[in-house]
Amino acid sequence: MAKPNRSAFIVIEGLDRSGKSTQAQILHERLTNAKTPVELIKFPDRTTAIGKMIDSYLRSESELDDRAIHLLFTANRWELASHITTLLASGTTVIADRYAFSGIAFSARKGLPYEWCRGPDVGLPAPDLTLFLNIEPAVARARGGYGEERYEREEVQRGVRELFEKIGREMQTEGSSWVQVDAGKGKDEVAEDIWGAVEPLIGSCDSPIGRLW
Ligand code: T5A
Ligand code: NA
């Protein structure tokens, strides 16, 4: 059998408070315990210069034109794109907590044209698997911390959810691996469902790293 020439790129997406960061952490630990080299990346990455502008906007400490903040979110992914491809090529599994799909869903929800929102993300490294954590916005709202940041309102989340569903259908049509996970279950059950989707990918990526769209 051919030796895998790279590792897998796994994206965790979903509505606010669906448990993405919790599950990204659990998956990271599980792979680390299995001695699989792995790096967890979070978008937005609030530590960079661009990330600090995004953070200030999300906390409503600054205002930005809708297109300007959209492009900052995208630029924040491009800042890390070559780091991601380098990790994958060197055999480190990459887990991203949110990615371009959040970028499109949240900006298109504001009324920006869908294709315009997608444009700047074209060419980013494509995930081998996207796990979409699906949850009723009302259930998400009942979880800790909801309502502290700009988009954490139920009507916003409903619109965002519809857009994520549209993106998921398109990804599936193109043959990309987009898996819905019932995120309303308990943490351990969700983690098991995620592991079931991730495990087959570990050590078995032979194709070159794809590009989004
Ligand atoms: N955004 C993002 C854009 O507009 N454009 C973009 O391009 C990008 C990348 C911040 C905002 O930015 C927007 C989207 C967002 O509105 P963020 O920094 O990812 O994005 O947001 P965070 O606040 O860090 O994360 P979320 O609010 O999305 O939460 P998570 O990560 O989904 O949920 P998590 O794991 O922190 O859990 C939330 C709470 O629920 C509990 C946890 O203990 C925690 O208290 N919990 C559970 N409770 C019961 N059952 C379970 N199964 C649970 N799992 C977790
Ligand atoms: Na999070």
The C-alpha atoms of residue 168 and residue 178 are separated, in whole angstroms, by 6
Cβ burial, residue 48 (10 Å; 0-12/13-18/19+): middle
The C-alpha atoms of residue 105 and residue 55 are separated, in whole angstroms, by 18
Write down the residue that tokens 């857009």 correspond to.
163
> Is ipTM > 0.85 here?
yes
pLDDT score recorded for residue 151: 86
pLDDT score recorded for residue 2: 56
pLDDT score recorded for residue 4: 53
Give the mutation target among 54, 61, 77, 98 for probing the ligand 1 site: most ligand atoms within 8 A of CB.
Answer: 98
The C-alpha atoms of residue 118 and residue 74 are separated, in whole angstroms, by 10
Q: Is omega for the bond preceding 44 within 30 degrees of 0, making it cis?
A: yes
pLDDT score recorded for residue 159: 95
Residues with CB under 6 A from ligand 1: 14, 16-22, 43-44, 58, 73, 98, 102-103, 106, 143-145, 149, 151, 186-187, 190
Three-state DSSP class for 147?
coil
pLDDT score recorded for residue 204: 87
DSSP state of 177: -
pLDDT score recorded for residue 152: 85
Residue nearest to atom 6 of ligand 1 (CA): 103
pLDDT score recorded for residue 137: 86
Calculate the CA 184 to chain-centre distance.
18
Query: Is the whole-model pTM more than 0.90?
Result: yes
Taking the chain (213 residues) in runs of 10, the rounded mean pLDDT of each run is 78 95 98 97 98 98 98 98 98 98 98 98 98 92 82 90 96 94 97 98 92 94
pLDDT score recorded for residue 138: 86
The C-alpha atoms of residue 207 and residue 22 are separated, in whole angstroms, by 29
